[in-house]
Amino acid sequence: MSTEYTPPTRDPARVGYLSWLLHRLSALALVPLLAIHVGVQVYPQYGFDAIYQYNIYQPLLSLTLGIVLLHAFLGVRATTLETRLSSRLKTVIIWLVGLFVLSLFVYRLVG
């Protein structure tokens, strides 16, 4: 029997397969969305200003924020589940972070 500490991994079985898959898919979705966002901000002279003209920039910005917040929440959730905290404390932390992320997204949509 080994007494050596081995750190936990982001095993899908440990954090849940759906959460694991959503975390990966949100990372993939962020690549083009952030590229569009940077293009609009930095390179409008290369045709990215058309996104403003067709009024799709604000919905894309809201979608980008939503996916960033989802990705952040799932990352914090996976990290929290891998800690040695009690199960009850893990649940409280995940709910608090989830409510905070949700309130940020609702604030963006409403305000």
From first to last of its 111 residues, what are the pLDDT tens digits of the chain? 556 655 656 677 777 899 989 999 999 999 999 999 999 999 888 888 888 888 899 999 999 999 999 999 999 999 998 888 999 999 999 999 999 999 999 999 897
Of 55, 69, 52, the closest CA to residue 108 belongs to 69
Domain that holds residue 38: 15-110
Q: Provide CB contacts within 8 A for 9, sequence distance 6+.
A: none
Cα radius of gyration rounded to whole Å, the chain = 18
> Residue 44's pLDDT is what?
86
Residue 55 lies in a domain: yes
Residue 4 lies in a domain: no
Residue 33 lies in a domain: yes
Check if the beta carbon of residue 19 is closer than 8 Å to that of residue 77.
yes
- With a threshold of 0.85, does the pTM exceed it? no
Q: Domain tally for the chain?
A: 1
Q: 102 phi and psi, to 5 degrees?
A: -65, -40
